[in-house]
Amino acid sequence: MDLGLKGKVAFVAAGSQGLGRAVAEELATEGASLVINSRSREKLEAVAGDIHNRTGVDVFDAAGDLSVTDDLRRVVNQAYDHFGHIDILVTNIGGPPAGPFENHDSAAWEAAIQSLLISGVDLTRLILPGMKLGRWGRILNITSIAAKQPVENLILSNSLRAGVTGFAKTLADEVAQYNVTVNNILPGYTLTERVEQLAASVAEREGISVDDAKRRWESQIPMGRLGKPEEVAGLVAYLASEEAAFLTGANIAINGGQHMF
């Protein structure tokens, strides 16, 4: 199936590893040019070169911390200087620290708000006008099942992922007339660095092995396994495509059937 992404430019946040890298690779395979971002310039340059060598698409690496306003503006400006337009925005912000309510002071909450909510809002604020002008765009927020089904010991993520959901649905209604869609992808437990960190946190807290923590999650998933990054990436590519032009304001779980909602 031709997803109609040739000639499009996609901005993928946190594109040097995990879900972000998988998404970048999938979109490049479909012919989209890329802007990929992460805080590590060295890692980012290596990933950009690898994706370009395998797919032949133009990959622009823009290092910077998107939770820092000046970095975020610089990265977006560099992307526009390079390509002139951005058609697809994939926000993909790593989760904040685990722990119960008492473990997080006001500074931790403020940092989580800036990272999980404000950075995505600011990216959208800078990129949306060009989409409206071109009367085509896709805004895709990779969040978490925590947006609908709170996850034990993740009070920061549980609280703020839900905020992204409300923002995205409201925005989707506002920009539908411009042929811009806004959707959220809610991955369950997926084999990424973040899940490895969460498994290590559970293991330390409960005195079990990391493998035991993972096996517990697998036992709760009807499919009996954790997800793969490329499975999430395939969903993102579809939602970015012409085939998904009538799908907006949705929260799409990809979790092996783990939760009923």
Residues 74 and 42 in one domain: yes
> Does the pLDDT value for residue 226 go beyond 90?
yes
In this predicted structure, what is the pLDDT of residue 177?
Answer: 98
Q: Does residue 159 belong to any structural domain of this protein?
A: yes
Q: Does residue 35 belong to any structural domain of this protein?
A: yes
In this predicted structure, what is the pLDDT of residue 22?
Answer: 97
Q: Does residue 1 belong to any structural domain of this protein?
A: no
Residues 60 and 113 in one domain: yes
Q: How many structural domains does the chain have?
A: 2
Mean pLDDT across 251-260: 86
Q: Quick one: CA torsion of 67, 71, 72, 78, rounded to 10 degrees? A: -160
Q: Does residue 74 belong to any structural domain of this protein?
A: yes
Mean pLDDT across 187-209: 87
Pick the range with the lowest mean pLDDT from 77-81, 181-185, 201-205.
201-205
Characterize 178-217 residue by residue with b for buried, 16 or more Cβ atoms within 10 angstroms of its Cβ, and e for exposed. eebbbbbbbbbbbbbebbeebbebbbeeeeeeeeebbeeb
Q: Does residue 259 belong to any structural domain of this protein?
A: no
54-76, pLDDT tens digit by residue? 999 999 999 999 999 999 999 99
State the amino acid at position 69 in one-letter form: T
Q: Does residue 219 belong to any structural domain of this protein?
A: yes
Q: Is the pTM of this model over 0.85?
A: yes
- Which residues face 11 on adjacent strands? 35, 89
Residues 124 and 245 in one domain: yes
Residues 53 and 42 in one domain: yes
Structure tokens at 221: 């998933």
Cα 29 to Cα 27: distance, rounded to the nearest angstrom: 5
Residues 126 and 178 in one domain: yes
Q: Does residue 2 belong to any structural domain of this protein?
A: no
- The answer to whether 161 touches 147, Cβ cutoff 8 Å, is yes
Residues 121 and 209 in one domain: no
Residues 196 and 176 in one domain: no
Residues 89 and 159 in one domain: yes
In this predicted structure, what is the pLDDT of residue 14?
Answer: 92
Q: Does residue 169 belong to any structural domain of this protein?
A: yes
State the amino acid at position 154 in one-letter form: L
Q: How confident is the model at residue 260 (pLDDT cuts 50, 70, 90)?
A: low
> Does the pLDDT value for residue 117 go beyond 90?
yes
> Does the pLDDT value for residue 261 go beyond 80?
no
In this predicted structure, what is the pLDDT of residue 148?
Answer: 84
In this predicted structure, what is the pLDDT of residue 199?
Answer: 86
Residues 196 and 140 in one domain: no
Mean pLDDT across 227-239: 97
> Does the pLDDT value for residue 192 go beyond 70?
yes
CA 46, 51, 55: angle at the middle one, nearest 5?
Answer: 155
CA 83, 87, 92: angle at the middle one, nearest 5?
Answer: 100
3-45, pLDDT tens digit by residue? 999 999 999 999 999 999 999 999 999 999 999 999 989 999 9
Using DSSP bridges, classify how beta strands 88-92 and 59-61 pair: parallel, antiparallel or unpaired: unpaired
Structure tokens at 23: 């998404």
In this predicted structure, what is the pLDDT of residue 200?
Answer: 87
Residues 202 and 167 in one domain: no
Q: How confident is the model at residue 194 (pLDDT cuts 50, 70, 90)?
A: confident
In this predicted structure, what is the pLDDT of residue 146?
Answer: 85
Q: How confident is the model at residue 217 (pLDDT cuts 50, 70, 90)?
A: confident
In this predicted structure, what is the pLDDT of residue 149?
Answer: 83
Residues 86 and 199 in one domain: no
> Does the pLDDT value for residue 1 go beyond 80?
no
Residues 140 and 218 in one domain: no
Segments forming the whole domain that contains residue 181: 9-189+228-254
Q: What CATH code is carried by the domain that includes residue 34? A: 3.40.50.720
